[in-house]
Structure 1
Amino acid sequence: MTLLAFSSPFAKGLRRFVGNRAILIGVVILTLVVVLAAFAPLVAPYAPNKLSIVSRLQPPSGAHLFGTDEFGRDIFSRAIYAGRVSLGVSLGVVAIATVLGVFLGLIAGYFRPLDAPISRLLDAMMSFPDILLAIALVAALGPSLVNVVLALGITYAPRLARIVRGSTLVLRELPYIEAAVALGLPTWQILLRHVLLNLASPILVQATFIFAAAMLAEASLSFLGVGASSDMPTWGTMLASGREYMNKAPWLMLFPGLAIVFAVLSLQLVGDGLRDLVDPRLAKEA
C-alpha cells in the first residue's frame, strides 16, 4: 500500500510528461542534437575545417546539405561539430554553477550569520545582465573557451543559489531537521542527507534552464569574439563570419541560427516538463 501511494503521483506525473506533445518534441530534438554531436566524425560528410576555394559560397545542394561558407567549408559538417562545442561548454557551465550555487545556497540558508553577506553578494551579481557580467569576467580572465565556461558558471550560480537558499530556510525549521540536530548529527551530514536530498528536484529543473541559457550565452560570446577562437566551429562564430555575406549567402547565418533556436527550445521544453513532473501541486490536478 505504501509503495502504491508513493508511485501513484509519480506515475501520474510521468503520464503527463509523456502525454505532452510539446515535451516529447523537445526530447526528440534534444536527443537528435546529442546523437549528432556525439557521433560527429561518423555523421559529418566532411572535416569541419576542410577548405575548398572552388566550392566557396555554394547554396544548399546534394553535395552540401547546408551549403558552404566563404572558404568552401561544409556548413552541415561545421554545424554538427559546433554542437559538440556548445554541449560541452554548457555541461561545464551547469557543473560549475550547480556546485557553486548549491554550496552558497546551503551555507546562506542554514547558517544565519552568513545569510546576509552571501545574499548581498548574490543580489549584487544578479543586478548585472548575465551577458554583461560574463563579458566582464571573460575580459578579466582572458578570452578562451575554458574561461568562458568558468565565467558563465559564475554568472549563473546565483540563480541556483537563491533557489537553494530559499528552500533551505524552510527545511531547517522542519521537525525532522530539528530532531537530527538534537541527536547530535554532524552538520555536513544534515546538509547532505536531510537538506540537499530534498532539493534534488528543483536543482535538476533549474540546471536544465541554466543549460539552455548557457548554450545561448556561449553563442553570444563567440559571436562577439570573446569566446572560442574564430577557427573553431561554434554556432556563434559561424554566425559572426556569415553576417558579412548575409545578402549574398543567407544560409551562412540561417542554419547555425536554426541550430541554436532548436537546441535551446528543446531544453526549455524539457525543463518545463521536468518542472511539471516534480511539482507536487500537480498531483492534485485530475
Structure 2
Amino acid sequence: MTAVTSPLGEDSVWRGLLRRPPAVGALIVLIAVVVLAAGADFLAPYVPSKLSIANRLQAPSALHLFGTDEFGRDVLSRTIWAGRISLAVGGAVVLVSALIGVTLGLMAGYFRRLDGPLSRLIDAMMAFPDILLAIALVAALGPSAFNVVLALGIVYAPRAARVVRASTLVIRELAYVEAAQALGVPTAVILTRHILRNLASPITVQGTFIFANAILAEAGLSFLGVGVSPDVPTWGTMIAMGRQFMDQAGWIMWFPGIAIVASVMSLQVLGDALRDLLDPRLARTT
C-alpha cells in the first residue's frame, strides 16, 4: 500500500528536518513570516493606509523602522500587511493548481485512453514561460486578486499534474490496485483510497515549490501592473510603487523585496529538504 509514500514516519521526517541546519533556518524564517502576516492587526505599529504627508519619504528611524513611503505611510506596517495578502494569494494558488493538476494527473495516469491527449495538453502548457502565460491570462480575465489566483493556478497546475501522473502510472500496476479492480471496487474509490492517498508526499513537496513560485509570480505581475489592484498592499505592488523613488528612498523597495526573497528562499530550501526526506527518487526526477 505504500508504493510512493515516504518510508519515514511523521516523527522521522521532523527529526530529519531538524538535523539539517538550512532546513531549520528556512523553517524559522517561514514561521516568522507567517506569524507576522497572521498577526498584522496586533504586530503592525501603524495603520497601513494612514497618510502623513508631513512625514513622507523619511529614512528608517526609531519612529519608523523601515521608513515611510511617498504618502508618509509606515513601510514596516505595510510590509507586514502585504505579507498577509501575498501569502494568501500563494496559498490559494497552491490549492487551485493542486485541484486542477491532481485531477489531470490522476486521469492521465490511470486511464490509458486519456493519457495521450492529457499528456499533450500538459506538455503544451509547460512549453509556455510561466510569467508570459500568467500575463496573458490575467490580461484576458482582468486584474484582480481572484483572477491572479486563477491564472497562476492554471499556470502551475501542469507541474502538479506531471508528478501525479508519473506516480499514478506506477501505482496502477501494483497488485493491490489490480486486486481492487478484479473485486469490482468502484473506480472513484480506487483513485481516492488506493492511489491518491499514496501521493501525499510528492504533492506536498511540489506544493512548496508552487507556493514559492506563486509568491514570486504575483510580485512580478503586480510590478508590471497586471496583478492585484494597487490599492491592495502586496509586496509586488509596494515595489512597483516605490520604483520611482528608488534613488531618494530606496527603502520603499528594499524591505518588501527582502520579504519576497526570504519567503521564496525558505520555501525552496524547505521543499528541497522535504523532497529528499519523503521521496529520494523524486529528487532525481524533478
Q: Do both proteins adopt the same fold according to a TM-score greater than 0.5, normalized to the shorter chain?
A: yes
User: Is residue 145 from structure 1 mapped to residue 157 from structure 2 by the alignment?
Assistant: no
Deviations 1:111-142 (A, max 9, x none): 01111111111111100000100111111111
Q: Please list, as runs of the form range in 1=range in 2, the aligned pairs for 1:205-244 lying within 5 A after superposition.
A: 205-244=205-244
List 4+ stretches of structure 1 deviating above 6 A: 6-9
Pairwise CA distance, 1:13: 4.3
2:66 aligns to what SS in structure 1?
coil
Residue type at the aligned position of 1:278? L
- Which residue in 1 is equivalent to 2:43? 43
Deviations 1:213-234 (A, max 9, x none): 0010011101111111112111
Q: Which runs of 5+ in 1 are unaligned?
A: 1-5
Pairwise CA distance, 1:11: 5.1
Deviations 1:174-200 (A, max 9, x none): 111111101110000011111111111
Pairwise CA distance, 1:274: 1.3
Q: 1:8 to 1:237 in 2, by over 3 A?
A: closer
Residue type at the aligned position of 1:93? V
Residues 13 and 276 in structure 1, CA contact (< 8 A), matched pair in contact too: no
- Which residue in 1 is equivalent to 2:198? 198
Tell which deviates more after alignment, 246-255 or 148-157. 246-255
Residues 10 and 277 in structure 1, CA contact (< 8 A), matched pair in contact too: no
Pairwise CA distance, 1:19: 1.1
- Which residue in 2 is equivalent to 1:3? none
Deviations 1:139-193 (A, max 9, x none): 1111111000000000000000011111111111111111110111000001111
Q: 1:120 to 1:146 in 2, by over 3 A?
A: same
How far apart are the structure 2 equivalents of 1:256 and 1:26?
18
Deviations 1:34-88 (A, max 9, x none): 1111110101111111100010000000110000001101000000000000011
- Which residue in 1 is equivalent to 2:15? 15
- Which residue in 1 is equivalent to 2:3? none
Pairwise CA distance, 1:281: 6.4
Residues 211 and 267 in structure 1, CA contact (< 8 A), matched pair in contact too: yes
1:29 aligns to what SS in structure 2?
helix
Q: TM-score, with normalisation over the residues of structure 1?
A: 0.93
Deviations 1:228-266 (A, max 9, x none): 111211111111111111111111111111010001111
Deviations 1:83-102 (A, max 9, x none): 00001101110000001100
How far apart are the structure 2 equivalents of 1:264 and 1:8?
26
Residues 160 and 203 in structure 1, CA contact (< 8 A), matched pair in contact too: yes
Residues 46 and 77 in structure 2, CA contact (< 8 A), matched pair in contact too: yes
Residues 8 and 278 in structure 2, CA contact (< 8 A), matched pair in contact too: no
Pairwise CA distance, 1:279: 2.0
- Which residue in 1 is equivalent to 2:173? 173
2:169 aligns to what SS in structure 1?
helix
Residue type at the aligned position of 2:21? R
User: Is residue 91 from structure 1 mapped to residue 91 from structure 2 by the alignment?
Assistant: yes
Residues 7 and 278 in structure 2, CA contact (< 8 A), matched pair in contact too: no
Residues 94 and 207 in structure 1, CA contact (< 8 A), matched pair in contact too: yes
Pairwise CA distance, 1:16: 2.4
Residue type at the aligned position of 2:217? A
Residue type at the aligned position of 2:53? I
- Which residue in 1 is equivalent to 2:71? 71
Q: CA RMSD in A?
A: 1.6
State, as a whole percentage, how many aligned pairs show the same letter. 64
Q: Which runs of 5+ in 2 are unaligned?
A: 1-5
Aligned residues: 277
Pairwise CA distance, 1:14: 3.4
- Which residue in 1 is equivalent to 2:123? 123
1:47 aligns to what SS in structure 2?
coil
